[in-house]
Structure 1
Amino acid sequence: MADVSEGREQTGLPRSGGSISIGKGGYVKTLVTGASGFIGSHVLKRLLERGRDVRVLQEPGFRRDHIAGLDCEIIEGDIRDPEVMRRACAGVDRIFHLAAMYQTWLPDRRLIYEINVEGTKRLLEAAEAVGVERIVYTSTIATLGKPEDGSLANEETPFNLWRVGNDYVFSKYQAEVEALEGVKRGLPIVIVNPAFPFGEGDIRPTPTGRILQMLLKGEIPYYYDGGINVVDVEDVAEGHLLAEEKGEIGEKYILGNENIEIVDFLRMAAQIAGVSPPKWKMPRSVAIALGHLSEFLADHLTHRHPYGTAAEIKLTSQRMYFDCTKARTQLGLPQTPIRQTLEKAIRWFREHGYT
């Protein structure tokens, strides 16, 4: 991890978030970016449940299902626009920065870097100008790399996943570097690294949500060796608020739960849903080749998100297993059993017509 001691001295703020005055009459004004997204919507609802005065930055053109009717201020604008970010951060005390392009495939890949990296730069510049008390930056476990000795990765594991060829991962790694540089300049940033979240409210199905959606439709005929760390999206949201309150400036916290083989995950989900699990095991090399083919067809023919990208397969076949002890012990991160999480997610997808 980068040396952030200089940044801590410059802030003049406690390393952890401390107590928070809340309510419309209180002094804390909180900005949430990405509130219309999967994790962000759950963070927003928790803040409002606790009486926080919340401002939301809403990107034009995105669905507002998650923020419709909620008691929050909405500023619409592009996170890449410095003037928009100055307006969004004006008078703000605390920031949850969740806005990101999470897709591993887009017709124009440059947008992933513009939103995830340049957007983060613009937000940090605006936050620095107004002197916020605390920023919780949402990264990803994929920025932590994979130990060569096969042990569980933790917050200190250096990034080494260049070989996966994943623009989302690369962009989030660069954005996390920007956040750590901000700490050195004195910005009071705490970083959270969510694992693979599942749960209710995945209205624009994330890559994790698409797995369940496809399984429920019988569109996953095969599996390949690999593994993921599964976590309930509600636990991830709670982890954000815990990081704000208890997290130390410049530190990372993995918001995860249980490590599980992909085949075991699919079988558990299929058993819960009452559908057939995938029967055929496909060699990793063949699965990656099919991923490249899917991307080629998406780029040149369908212009729709491919069945599965080579980048997604390369990432999940790495066995992305993590040690979540730090967040559990230092933050008190809740750990909902993954069977319960999958039951909620499957029920939600079915009730909302995604299958």
Structure 2
Amino acid sequence: MTTKLALVTGGNGFVGCHVVRALIARGDRVRVLARENADLSALVGLPVEIVRGDLRYFDSVDRAVNGCDEVYHVAADYRLWLTDPAPMYETNVGGTQHVIRAAANAGVSRIVHTSTVGALGIPHGGVGREDTPSSLAEMTGHYKRSKYMAEQAALEAARTGAPVVIVNPSTPIGALDLKPTPTGRIIVDFLNRRMPAYVETGLNIVDVEDVARGHLLAAERGRIGEKYILGGDNLTLREFLERLAMISGLPAPKMRIPYAVALGYALGAEAFARTVTRRAPRASLTEVRMARKRMFFDSSKARAELGYSPGPIEAALAAAIEFFRSKGTARSAA
């Protein structure tokens, strides 16, 4: 049997490196598109081909796609605070258009576009699904707006014949969260005793390895032009912190911060960041505004159509804690 060649854009990132591992475990050859000077430490020791390029430039994307059988477009500019949003739209929207056009021209059998549950609608007080109505006007912040626009571009490409399947991961956790992601930062702050209080919100938490396997299932069994939520457990932030406490042996914060207080803190933190540090603040307005809505989602469509079967998140939490402590990002256990 001929081994397939799969391209993973952003294969050096948190979700991408786990997609790479899942493909290798399946026996596929893997090519990774990564920017010049990108950190490749998540891929150390893996038998992958690295192609340097930039999603913003079609020619470099076209070269990376050449000869591939499948494309997993995982790369994205994921920042919740930024001084200039233009590069984010060029990467997330323009880059998606480049990947799909190059892959369709090359005749690949499947293009899996990694979107986010942030691009989906959530009914008031309810649980979001793939068909819950949403609009660009409802998207909070440039990241969500750009990912919503990218998802719309992927849907349009599917309608015109491109073999695109869309996955919407929720909030992945686990090892190899190098940057870390905003959720990884919550875990790091918890482990470093830098979280004396919390804002009440809700998240859908999932093991990043389950998300990676969901990508492969989407390529194999997903219907062209369809969206699939790759989620796990719906938890309030308090419940999430209590699970962290149980696994880490550290106490969970008891004090809940009122939304207005958190918003005021974020306003001040952003002003200080823009005028003094020029680095992302501890809390951004986008993060606080996103916290007003519980991000609860239903993965039953992916379970039914793809055979997606996420496990309990405790193993992923333990893997994240061990990773952050081993890298020195978080304090070791007392």
Q: If the length of structure 2 is used for normalisation, what is the TM-score? A: 0.95
Match of 2:226 in 1: 251
SS of the residue 2:209 aligns to: helix
Residues 294-317 of structure 1: CA deviation (Å, up to 9, x unaligned): 222222211222112121122133
- The counterpart of 1:220, out of the listed 195, 208, 211, is 195
**Does residue 1:291 correspond to 2:269, yes or no?**
no
Residues 219-245 of structure 1: CA deviation (Å, up to 9, x unaligned): 112112210000000000000011111
SS of the residue 2:42 aligns to: coil
Gaps of 5+ in 2: none
Match of 1:99 in 2: 75
Paired amino acid for 1:35: G
CA distance in 1, matches of 2:136, 2:128: 12
Match of 1:169 in 2: 144
**Does residue 1:333 correspond to 2:308, yes or no?**
yes
Shift in Å at residue 339 of structure 1?
Answer: 2.2
**Does residue 1:36 correspond to 2:36, yes or no?**
no
Contact 1:218/1:276 (CA < 8 Å) preserved in 2?
A: no
SS of the residue 1:66 aligns to: helix
SS of the residue 1:314 aligns to: helix
SS of the residue 1:308 aligns to: coil
- RMSD (Å) for aligned C-alpha atoms: 1.5
Residues 143-172 of structure 1: CA deviation (Å, up to 9, x unaligned): 112113x22110101225745631110100
Number of aligned residue pairs: 330
- The counterpart of 1:231, out of the listed 203, 206, 225, is 206
Gaps of 5+ in 1: 1-20
Larger displacement relative to structure 2 (226-235 or 332-341): 332-341
Paired amino acid for 2:24: L
Paired amino acid for 1:166: G
Paired amino acid for 1:92: C
CA distance in 1, matches of 2:118, 2:249: 31
Residues 234-293 of structure 1: CA deviation (Å, up to 9, x unaligned): 000000011111111111110001101111111221232122322321111221222222
Match of 2:159 in 1: 184
**Does residue 1:155 correspond to 2:130, yes or no?**
yes
**Does residue 1:344 correspond to 2:328, yes or no?**
no
- Name the CA shift for 1:316/1:333 in 2 (closer, same or farther; >3 Å): farther
Shift in Å at residue 139 of structure 1?
Answer: 0.2
CA distance in 2, matches of 1:238, 1:79: 24
CA distance in 1, matches of 2:93, 2:163: 19
CA distance in 1, matches of 2:238, 2:96: 36
**Does residue 1:53 correspond to 2:33, yes or no?**
no
Residues 165-207 of structure 1: CA deviation (Å, up to 9, x unaligned): 3111010000001101111110010000000111111011011
Identity within the alignment, %: 44
- The counterpart of 1:89, out of the listed 62, 65, 71, is 65
Q: What does 1:271-282 correspond to in 2, within 5 Å?
A: 271-282=246-257
Contact 1:145/1:157 (CA < 8 Å) preserved in 2?
A: yes
Contact 1:227/1:260 (CA < 8 Å) preserved in 2?
A: yes
Match of 2:183 in 1: 208
CA distance in 1, matches of 2:200, 2:254: 13
CA distance in 1, matches of 2:221, 2:126: 27
CA distance in 2, matches of 1:144, 1:201: 26
Shift in Å at residue 64 of structure 1?
Answer: 0.5
Q: What does 1:139-154 correspond to in 2, within 5 Å?
A: 139-148=115-124, 150-154=125-129
Larger displacement relative to structure 2 (165-174 or 125-134): 125-134
CA distance in 1, matches of 2:312, 2:199: 24
- Name the CA shift for 1:274/1:181 in 2 (closer, same or farther; >3 Å): same
CA distance in 2, matches of 1:272, 1:349: 14
Match of 1:13 in 2: none
SS of the residue 1:96 aligns to: strand
**Does residue 1:126 correspond to 2:102, yes or no?**
yes
- Name the CA shift for 1:201/1:153 in 2 (closer, same or farther; >3 Å): same
Contact 2:173/2:317 (CA < 8 Å) preserved in 1?
A: yes
